[in-house]
Amino acid sequence: MFDNLSQKLNNTFKKLKGHGKLSEKNIEDGLKEVRMALLEADVHFKVVKSFIKEVKKRSLGQEVLESLTPGQQVIKIVNEELSKLMGEKNEEINLKGPTPIPIMLVGLQGSGKTTTAGKLAVYLRDKGRNPFLVSLDIYRPAAIDQLKKLGKQINIAVYDTKADMKPDEICKKAHAYADQQGYDTIILDTAGRLHIDDELMAELLKIKKAVKPSDILLIADAMTGQDAVNIAKSFDAKLDISGFILTKMDGDARGGAALSIKEITNRPIKFIGTGEKINDLELFHPERMASRILGMGDVLTLIEKAQSVVDEKKAAELEKKLRKSQFTLEDFRDQMVQIRKMGSLSDILNMMPGMGKMKQLKNFEVDDRELIRIEAIINSMTRQERINPNIINGSRRKRIAGGSGTKVQDVNRLLKNYSQVMKIIKKINKGGMRGLARGIFPF
């Protein structure tokens, strides 16, 4: 996400950092490039105008002009102003009030409401809530079936919506049922339209009046840029929405919606959808997103992702094995499974400070299927082979390749890489950091 914008901003800042001292002209030339980069990213022109004005005002002050590192000071200012633009801090979902608490999801068709309803339910369950899904799209039986199917996949209860009832009546019945069954949170997946119309808004207002939701969240497709902002204004004018969930952020290389929507509507982005998996829903942290845009990484989100998938007991066991150089292919496989739970390798790399700026990574596409291939190869081995790879001879390699749907060369490459990792681990255990250096630079 934000790839195009990040690249252009970093090119501009590289020029600024090349000056020992910055003049007013240097700053103005740099900000012209920043302005163009933001406009090309489909950021609303009013947002761009006010943003540049504020950055310029601060950049021409003493903190920059008298600094020993003026370029870095400008980047710091841009980082802070980007964070302000997107809301400065995360605003959590509102779960205050008597249970069951209704949360209303609204938006146009194709914005990803139903999938987001499932993702939000999983997120809330992981936080200790007991969510209940309700489809209110009586016009499309397929939408009702889609939510039921999704609920079954993620093991979350879904109300048995009947298409012959009115949406506001369904809400009341679903609320009473959820109360009886002990569900504490109701996620309402409302009907969408291809375009905003009075009929849709009238229906949504009836639903709002019927259940008085704690949050009305607009699901907006980030890839539509300024269109998402215009849609947001229309929904907010009628429904007084409480925030947004921006979907398809992983496919948005520009970032116009994320950078404009809060400033224009004065409503916060609460979550972002970062992929197709059911766990690909993140709390939106403006300050972290600003750092990502400027190529500074997002270590806090990376740590949170790791903490959510790491089994602490297994991690302690693994540490002991590593110290004794007993890291087996079974351990290798288990680590890969945990990494895959954290998201795509590309996303993980981009959260690491400086990785987004590295030239060798600009056109480097990380193939997540390689992890799946490696896992399949290890799964095709016997337990004895996973623990002691030295016994894997030619015939065993052929059998493993056939069982995993790969080639013998793939098996050979995995075993060679594993052997190299083990050599480095043994050298670390023998000589600490010196051993690590000898392992990486054996000359």
Do strands 185-189 and 215-221 pair parallel, antiparallel, or not at all (unpaired)? Answer: unpaired
Two structure tokens written together for 141: 């039986």
Least reliable range by pLDDT among 88-102, 137-151, 212-226, 353-367 = 353-367
For all residues of the chain together, what is the average pLDDT?
81
CATH of the domain at 364: 1.10.260.30
Give the residue among 68, 77, 80 at the shortest CA–CA distance from 27. Answer: 77
Average pLDDT on 272-295 reads 84
Average pLDDT on 147-176 reads 90
Q: Do both 173 and 294 map to the same domain?
A: yes
To 5 degrees, how large is the angle CA 209–CA 210–CA 213?
Answer: 75
Return the axis-axis angle of helices 3-17 and 24-40, rounded to nearest 10°. 170
The count of domains in the chain is: 3
Q: Do both 349 and 273 map to the same domain?
A: no
Instruction: Count Cβ atoms below 10 Å from residue 75 Cβ, excluding itself.
Output: 20
Q: Do both 112 and 258 map to the same domain?
A: yes
- At position 345, the amino acid (one-letter code) is L
Is residue 432 in a domain? yes
**pLDDT per position as a tens digit, 94-103:** 998 888 999 9
152 to each of 115, 147, 277, 438, how far by Cα in Å?
Answer: 13, 9, 15, 52
pLDDT score, position 411: 92
Q: Do both 135 and 231 map to the same domain?
A: yes
Where a domain ends, among 255, 277, 302?
302
**pLDDT per position as a tens digit, 401-443:** 999 999 999 999 889 888 887 777 777 666 554 444 444 333 3
**pLDDT per position as a tens digit, 44-92:** 899 999 999 998 888 887 666 666 677 778 888 888 888 888 887 888 8
Instruction: Count Cβ atoms below 10 Å from residue 95 Cβ, excluding itself.
Output: 15
Return the axis-axis angle of helices 24-40 and 45-59, rounded to nearest 10°. 160
Is residue 92 in a domain? no
Least reliable range by pLDDT among 333-337, 341-345, 398-402 = 341-345
Where a domain ends, among 61, 85, 109?
85
CA distance 423 to 418: 9
Tracing tokens 């879904």 back to the chain, one arrives at 158
Q: Do both 235 and 115 map to the same domain?
A: yes
To 5 degrees, how large is the angle CA 70–CA 74–CA 79?
Answer: 145
Is residue 91 in a domain? no
Is residue 93 in a domain? no
Q: Do both 225 and 118 map to the same domain?
A: yes
pLDDT score, position 251: 74
Question: Residue 57's domain spans which residues?
Answer: 3-85
Is residue 288 in a domain? yes
pLDDT score, position 325: 62
pLDDT score, position 314: 62
Q: Do both 76 and 157 map to the same domain?
A: no
Q: Do both 172 and 54 map to the same domain?
A: no
Where a domain ends, among 240, 273, 302?
302
